Amino acid sequence: MTWQYAVGFTVLPHIGGFAGGVITRREVPTWYASLNKPSWRPPNKAFPVVWTTLYTGMGYLTVLPSAVPFLSPSRLSYRVVAAFVELLFLYGAAAATTVSYYSVNRTASLLMVPYLAWLSLAASLNYRIWKDNPDADSKKN
């Protein structure tokens, strides 16, 4: 494997993350800012840093021997309940991926752990926003 291959596959997941950020960026100061959020939520500036780190790890794990590429999630849903349900499915898929990687490549499996931790935080945050903003979905339309 050449270093260009490794760099290419490490950078590849960032394309989807960048596109999602461009699409959702205008919603942060308007719709998202209007929601009641728990006091423990990370600051808005933390999200791009964390997602960049996670996408880099997921991209790199695809070039490890025998690791299977992991598809990056779409973050285009503004429906709070739908987003929460999506996160539950995403968490299940990420957990299953992590477990399946372990028998093939332990490093690939361990690179998924920060992603699972972040998804746990994201699901908790989404759940609190859902419960603290019962009319959030109706505000969007």
CA–CA distance, 51 with 119 (Å, rounded to integer): 11
Specify the number of domains making up the chain.
1
Q: What tens digit of pLDDT does each residue of 85-119 get?
A: 878 888 998 899 899 888 888 888 898 899 899 89
Give the Cβ contact number of residue 85 at 10 Å. Answer: 13
CATH number of the domain within which 46 lies: 1.20.1260
Number of Cβ within 10 Å of residue 5's Cβ equals: 10
For residue 67, give the nearest of 135, 132, 6 by alpha carbon: 6
- Secondary structure, 3-state, 87-112: HHHHHHHHHHHHHHHHHHCHHHHHHH
- CB within 8 Å of 139: residues ≥ 6 apart: 31, 34, 133
Give the CA distances from residue 34 to residues 1, 22, 43, in Å, rounded to whole numbers and listed in that order: 48, 20, 15
Q: What is the pLDDT along the chain (141 residues), one digit of tens a residue?
A: 577 777 887 888 888 778 877 887 887 788 888 888 899 898 888 888 888 888 888 777 766 654 444 433 433 345 777 778 878 888 998 899 899 888 888 888 898 899 899 899 888 988 888 888 877 666 554
Q: Which two tokens stand for residue 7?
A: 């760099």
- Cα separation, 21 vs 104, in Å, equals 33
- Domain assignment of residue 55, given as a range: 3-140
